[in-house]
């Protein structure tokens, strides 16, 4: 949408002096504070300013906006067999996690400008999470700070790395309401892709889909887990479809409302149902069996790459980020999916949700190693 002359003048002033108060801007523009507020709202709607603040939007068409969960992940790994009722020896570590946050960090690690829309508490884990995510290169200016606690995901793994028990406490994501998204419409507009995870409420997800349709930004939906992933159903029934859906087999079954055996034929049948509802691409994760990518007329089966598995948490998030990074670099969907599997291989080898070893060079090396 084109800017008015007055809006262009205001934008130039904000660019030159980003810390100006509304009063200063009004004085320099020779207008009232109320008029400045009206122009700022309009500039935000048109995508020239980000969020509510006077932040000039980067003119970067490659930006990906990621909306959903941000948690602190706490992992404990036993050194021997679990004995209930006693203190078991083990190792423990803590690192930022959350599906949307992980996708955003993986994108940034791969050189794609990533903007996170999530919610964290005003507590120390919230401070740490924001600091580390920003340090990894993610734009965190749209993250909501709440008075309550930051979401957490606490998992205990046995000595071989199998998950024994997990506790997810992620209420902060409830603060991502339709109104919170409206306030951040400027960030969405002009982005190359949006990503939403299944932690969003059905109402917020449906609203995000309608905003994406309005501003013509394709949305990838990452369902996260079976009951939560089914939050896409009201939108699908209402005729709003994401561009791409990336379920695992159980999540795919929940989306089509029936059992789906993990065979290529059965998967194709279920995937076609999603295409029939307007979804253009479906990428089904099959754990160590790899994945099946369907872009309507074209179906590709991809193998997982060999890996020394330590902890699979976050592998799906890395896969999605590397896929989008490769699409943005001009790769075909099938080749981009191969990049996704290389990123997943690096991630399953780390105890953290995002592999500290993921870089464009490490990804290229993993892809080359996998060349037949
Ligand atoms: N045991 C394994 N060996 C090798 N690669 C694996 C293994 N498990 C997962 N992967 C890799 O990670 C990718 C994603 O894992 P999976 O399909 O289990 O997704 P997921 O169920 O969403 O996992 P998560 O929720 O932990 O991200 C796989 O497609 C594969 O490339
Ligand atoms: O049930 C869940 N387990 C794990 C997570 C989060 O997923 C991330 C990995 O995809 C992980 O970092 C955790 O915070 C979640 O949102 N729900």
Is the shortest distance between the CB of 309 and ligand 1 below 6 Å? yes
CATH code assigned at 44: 1.10.10.10
Is the shortest distance between the CB of 105 and ligand 2 below 6 Å? no
Looking at the domain assignment, is residue 120 inside a domain? yes
pLDDT at 353: 95
25/112 same-domain check: no
51/96 same-domain check: no
Looking at the domain assignment, is residue 362 inside a domain? no
Taking the CA atoms of residue 366, residue 333, residue 247 and residue 318 in that order, the dihedral angle to the nearest 10 degrees is 30
Beta strands in 177-249 (DSSP E): 193-197, 219-222, 244-245
122/163 same-domain check: yes
Rounded CA-CA distance 337/339 in Å is 5
Backbone angles phi, psi at 78, to 5 degrees: -75, 150
Q: Domain end: 176, 197, 224, which one?
A: 176
Looking at the domain assignment, is residue 283 inside a domain? no
Pocket probe for ligand 1: among 157, 300, 304, the residue whose CB has the most ligand atoms within 8 Å is: 304
Helix/strand/coil for 174: helix
Chain Cα centroid distance, residue 261: 27
Q: Residue 70 belongs to what domain range?
A: 61-176
93/120 same-domain check: yes
Pocket probe for ligand 2: among 104, 153, 156, 231, the residue whose CB has the most ligand atoms within 8 Å is: 153
pLDDT at 42: 87
Q: Which of 353, 320, 304 is nearest to 196 (CA)?
A: 320
Whose CA is closest to atom 6 on ligand 1? 288
Q: Any idea which residue has 């890996």 for tokens?
A: 307
Looking at the domain assignment, is residue 102 inside a domain? yes
Looking at the domain assignment, is residue 263 inside a domain? no
Rounded CA-CA distance 338/323 in Å is 8
Tell me: ipTM over 0.90.
yes
Q: Domain end: 160, 176, 192, which one?
A: 176
Rounded CA-CA distance 105/45 in Å is 26
Q: How many domains does the chain have?
A: 2
CATH code assigned at 130: 3.40.1190.20
Is residue 54 within 8 Å of residue 14, measured between CB atoms? yes
pLDDT at 50: 65
What are 76-80's contacts with CB under 8 Å, separation 24+?
A: 76/154, 76/155, 76/156, 76/157, 77/156, 77/157, 77/158, 77/159, 77/161, 77/351, 78/156, 78/157, 78/158, 78/159, 78/164, 79/159, 80/159
Q: Domain end: 132, 159, 176, which one?
A: 176
Is residue 221 within 8 Å of residue 242, measured between CB atoms? yes
50/118 same-domain check: no
Q: What is the pLDDT along the chain (372 residues), one digit of tens a residue?
A: 678 889 888 888 887 776 678 888 899 999 999 998 899 888 887 777 765 566 665 555 589 999 999 999 999 999 999 999 999 999 999 999 999 999 999 999 999 999 999 999 999 999 999 999 999 999 999 999 999 999 999 999 999 888 999 999 988 999 999 999 999 999 998 899 999 999 999 999 999 999 999 998 999 999 998 999 999 999 999 999 999 999 999 999 999 999 999 999 999 999 999 999 999 999 999 999 999 999 988 999 999 999 999 889 999 999 999 999 999 988 999 999 999 999 999 999 988 899 999 999 999 999 998 876
Is the shortest distance between the CB of 151 and ligand 2 below 6 Å? no
Looking at the domain assignment, is residue 132 inside a domain? yes
């Amino acid at each position: 949408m084109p800017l008015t002359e007055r809006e262009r003048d205001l934008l130039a002033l904000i660019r030159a002096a980003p810390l100006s108060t509304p009063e200063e801007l009004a004085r320099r523009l020779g207008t009232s504070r109320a008029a400045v507020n009206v122009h700022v709202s309009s500039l935000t709607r048109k995508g020239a300013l980000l969020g509510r603040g006077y932040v000039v939007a980067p003119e970067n068409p490659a930006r990906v906006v990621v909306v959903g969960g941000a948690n602190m992940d706490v992992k404990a790994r036993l050194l021997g067999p679990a004995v209930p009722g006693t203190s078991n020896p083990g190792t423990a570590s803590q690192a930022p996690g959350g599906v949307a946050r992980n996708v955003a960090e993986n994108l940034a690690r791969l050189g794609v400008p990533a903007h996170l829309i999530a919610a964290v508490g005003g507590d120390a884990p919230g401070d740490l999470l924001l600091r580390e995510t920003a340090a990894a290169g993610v734009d965190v200016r749209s993250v909501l700070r709440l008075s309550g606690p930051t979401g957490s995901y606490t998992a205990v793994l046995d000595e071989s790395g199998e998950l024994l028990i997990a506790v997810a406490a992620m209420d902060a994501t409830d603060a991502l309401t339709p109104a919170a998204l409206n306030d951040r419409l400027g960030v969405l507009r002009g982005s190359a892709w949006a990503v939403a995870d299944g932690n969003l409420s059905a109402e917020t997800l449906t609203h995000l889909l309608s905003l994406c349709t309005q501003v013509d930004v394709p949305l990838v939906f990452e369902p996260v887990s079976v009951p939560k992933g089914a939050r896409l159903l009201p939108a699908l029934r209402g005729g709003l479809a994401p561009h791409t859906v990336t379920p695992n087999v159980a999540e795919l079954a929940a989306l089509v409302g029936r059992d789906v055996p993990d065979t290529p034929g059965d998967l194709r049948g279920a995937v076609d149902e999603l295409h029939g509802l307007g979804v253009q691409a479906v990428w089904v994760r099959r754990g160590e069996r790899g994945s099946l990518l369907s872009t309507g007329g074209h179906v590709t089966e991809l193998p997982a790459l060999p890996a020394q598995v330590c902890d699979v948490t976050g592998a799906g998030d890395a896969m999605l980020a590397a896929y989008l990074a490769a699409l943005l670099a001009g790769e075909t969907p099938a080749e981009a999916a191969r990049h996704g599997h290389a990123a997943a291989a690096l991630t399953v080898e780390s105890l953290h949700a995002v592999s500290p070893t993921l870089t464009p060079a490490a990804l290229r090396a993993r892809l080359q190693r996998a060349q037949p």
